[in-house]
Amino acid sequence: MIKFCTRCVISSMRPRIAFDADGVCSACRFAEAKAATDWTAREAELKRLCDWHRSNNGSFDVVVPVSGGKDGGFVAHQLRTVYGMTPLCVTWAPLLPTDIGRQNLDAFVAHGFDVIQGRPNGETTRALTKLAFEHMGDPFLPFIYGQTNFPLQMAVRYQIPLIMYGEDGEAEYGGAVKEPRAQRKIEDHDEQYFSGKPPSFWTEHGLDLRQLKPFQAPPYREIKANGTQIHFFGYYKPWDPQENFYHCAEHTGFSPNPERTEGTYSKYASLDDRLDGLHYYLAYIKFGIGRCTSDSAHEIRDGKITREEGVALVHKFDGEFPVKHYQDALDYMGLSHTEAARIIDSWRSPEVWDGFRLRARVE
């Protein structure tokens, strides 16, 4: 039976989430714990971490994964201006970049940040995207590989031990992690970020290891020899995506979309890839959790909206089909409308769907 959190709008269909005896999800309990955190003590930990790694000679001393968006931009700007670090920002090329995404990344660079972009072979990326769409129900997996593994590659190549991400998604949004953690283990990547399917998995579907190398992490012995550590800025400082947006609009040239994003009500998150909409729509198909559910659940926890407002927004926007870039996505993967519809329908969970109707809706 599908359960809905009594505090936010997330359901028990979210992978790895947990509910307690009061019907409250683990992400809401995590938000509750954040509110009671001694942030002064946490920031002191951050200062000690930065003091240990700071180069003091202008050379790069921290790798910050970015896209040009509000979150990585916030982390990089804070580390540079508040904590005296010299970030090497790294980004993985979107599968199908948007105009606003390119504009924001260019603005970020123009505001004084060094950025290295990984751009893998286009033919391999398209093939991998199509395979992931069909076999995983998520065309976004090739981007997730790069977003996760490219920062590791650059940390090893430039001999920078510290990598600083934004929030710990496994804790913030309800996942395998239930308690605050400063670091994440690289050994957890395959299960927590790749659904148990690392890049090497796709050799079973016609791709070879040479083609997949750009998507893979460096050998573990090299990661260990570099002393690589992955930390979360959201462990040390309060994490609030909406406040990150306001900060980057003022300090890094970030601009939101002029209109709301399909499937939700917001204008400032996940703007840089034309496959974003299909990625979030597949989550709705597989789990009954669309983009609006994810956005409103987090904003309820952050105190931006009430649960009643969140329920109304979910009913209005969740499951909206991503029309705007759908044809671009099909052309990119070389699929017809009929083929794509067959693949999408094949991922409808019997727990969630009865024919083409959801069995349960948040109330």
Which two structure tokens, joined as six digits, stand for 117?
A: 């972009």
Distances (CA, A) of 88 to 2, 14, 215, 294: 44, 34, 19, 30
Residue-level pLDDT at 353? 85
At 351, which amino acid appears? E
Which two structure tokens, joined as six digits, stand for 35?
A: 């509110």
Say if CB 271 and CB 98 are below 8 A apart: yes
Closest by Cα among 280, 333, 288 to 133: 333
Residue-level pLDDT at 176? 81
Residue-level pLDDT at 189? 77
pLDDT tier for residue 56 given thresholds of 50, 70 and 90: confident
Residue-level pLDDT at 356? 53
Report whether pLDDT(239) > 60: yes
pLDDT tier for residue 360 given thresholds of 50, 70 and 90: low
Provide the CB-side half-sphere exposure for 65 (13 A, CA). Answer: 24
Question: Tens of pLDDT along 301-358?
Answer: 999 999 999 999 999 999 999 999 999 999 999 999 999 999 999 999 888 887 556 6
For range 148-167, the mean pLDDT: 97
Mean pLDDT value across the chain = 94
DSSP string, 50-112: HHHH--SSSS--EEEE--SSHHHHHHHHHHHHTT---EEEEEE--SSB-HHHHHHHHHHHHTT
Say if CB 63 and CB 160 are below 8 A apart: yes
Residue-level pLDDT at 111? 97
Rounded CA-CA distance 55/35 in Å is 33
Rounded to a whole number of angstroms, the distance between the first and last alpha carbons of the chain is 15
Distances (CA, A) of 134 to 17, 26, 280, 293, 347: 25, 31, 15, 24, 9
Say if CB 234 and CB 168 are below 8 A apart: yes
Residue-level pLDDT at 363? 79
Report whether pLDDT(107) > 70: yes
For range 98-119, the mean pLDDT: 96
pTM for the whole structure: 0.94
pLDDT tier for residue 141 given thresholds of 50, 70 and 90: very high
Residue-level pLDDT at 73? 97
> How long is the chain?
363
At 20, which amino acid appears? D
Hey, which residues does 117 pair with through a beta bridge?
Answer: 91
Rounded CA-CA distance 2/224 in Å is 42
- Which residues neighbour 324 within 8 Å (Cβ) at sequence distance 6 or greater? 262, 274, 277
For range 246-275, the mean pLDDT: 94
Rounded CA-CA distance 111/163 in Å is 21
For range 124-140, the mean pLDDT: 96
At 272, which amino acid appears? D
Hey, which residues does 65 pair with through a beta bridge?
Answer: 90
Residue-level pLDDT at 359? 60
Tell me which architecture the domain covering 39-236 has in CATH: 3-Layer(aba) Sandwich (3.40)
What are the boundaries of each domain within the chain? 39-236, 259-358
Hey, which residues does 162 pair with through a beta bridge?
Answer: 229
For range 253-268, the mean pLDDT: 94
Between 356 and 266, the more confident residue is 266
Residue-level pLDDT at 357? 60
Residue-level pLDDT at 307? 97
